Amino acid sequence: MRILVVNSNTTDSVTARIGTAARAAASPGTEIEAVTAPFGLPLIVSRADWLVAGPATLAALAARRGRYDAAVIACFGDPGLDAAKELLDVPVLGISEAAFHAAAMLGRRFGVVSFTAALRPMFEDCLAHHGLAPRCAGFRMGPPFSGDPGKVAEERADLLVELCRQSVEQDGAEAVILAGGPLAGLAPVLAPRVPVPLVDGTAAAVRLAEALVGLAPPAAKGRRRARALTGFAPEIASLYDG
């Protein structure tokens, strides 16, 4: 099985982290290709960022179309996810979508922890969009951040452990999501210091994508009518070829 993992921002060091985390989570026999969005922004933090990261993500998905059995959008907030689900013939999962579902299966109420509160509005919109707000015990986020997204996971590891503990002890979380593409791969490192399951969105998305490939046959979707999309790169427009 081949899974394409798209980092929706343009920071290659984050893509590297994500690729490593994805490979660590994948089953034997699953091949992971991790790619960086071909354009856009170095970090996705706001609703506007989320919007422009959508076509950038679609471009990456379209460029390799036919060469993967499932895809993962590895940006917490899931830019382009609904469009990709409509336009592609294979299962597509966002890492926040996957994290919410996995956490809900691992505990009645899950907390969401991340490195900076700037992400909270986008994360709240995303949680509401997926309909799992009733299962969320609350958010715990760190202070403003303006450093290297590829290094924040290590720099803020102790803070994140403390936020996880607050989520468990004060909010009643029975599972905790470490949210944000730049934190990919951190969960197994911090897990021994947190008393409930720690969920990494990238790992969850890879495992759940493997699961869905077996469940949703590619032929399930009907053919679409071809339509002409202008103003976007040819590979994006090709998604509208029908």
| Residue 9 backbone phi and psi in degrees, to 5 | -105, 175
Burial class of residue 143 in the structure, from the number of CB atoms within 10 Å of its CB (0-12 exposed, 13-18 middle, 19+ buried): exposed
Q: Does 129 bind a second copy (CB under 8 A)?
A: yes
Radius of gyration of the chain (CA): 17
Q: Which of 189, 232, 235, 238 binds a second copy (CB under 8 A)?
A: 232
Q: Does 118 bind a second copy (CB under 8 A)?
A: no
Tell me if 112 sits within 8 A of 179, measured CB to CB.
yes
Q: Measured from the CB of residue 46, what is the shortest distance to a second copy in angstroms?
A: 6
Q: Which of 12, 20, 33, 105 binds a second copy (CB under 8 A)?
A: 105
Which stretch, 15-23, 61-69, 157-165, 223-231, contacts a second copy (CB under 8 A)?
A: 223-231
Q: Does 151 bind a second copy (CB under 8 A)?
A: no
Number of chain residues interacting with a second copy (CB under 8 A)? 79
Give the list of residues 6+ apart from residue 40 with CB closer than 8 angstroms, or none: 8, 9, 10, 52, 53, 56
Q: Does 31 bind a second copy (CB under 8 A)?
A: no
Tell me if 73 sits within 8 A of 204, measured CB to CB.
no
Show the binding pattern over residues 35-74: x = contacts a second copy (CB under 8 A), - = does not: ---xxxxx---xxx-xxx-xxx-xx---------------
Q: Does 78 bind a second copy (CB under 8 A)?
A: no
Q: Does 191 bind a second copy (CB under 8 A)?
A: yes
Q: Does 134 bind a second copy (CB under 8 A)?
A: yes
Separation between Cα atoms, residue 60 and residue 194, nearest integer Å: 35
Nearest to 7 by CA among 80, 65, 69, 66: 80
Which stretch, 13-21, 153-161, 178-186, 219-227, contacts a second copy (CB under 8 A)?
A: 219-227
Q: Does 234 bind a second copy (CB under 8 A)?
A: no
Q: Measured from the CB of residue 1, what is the shortest distance to a second copy in angstroms?
A: 10
Q: Does 16 bind a second copy (CB under 8 A)?
A: no
Axis-axis angle for helices 120-130, 95-106 (nearest 10)? 70
Q: Does 144 bind a second copy (CB under 8 A)?
A: no
Tell me if 17 sits within 8 A of 48, measured CB to CB.
no
Query: How many C-beta atoms surround the C-beta of residue 39 within 10 A?
Result: 13
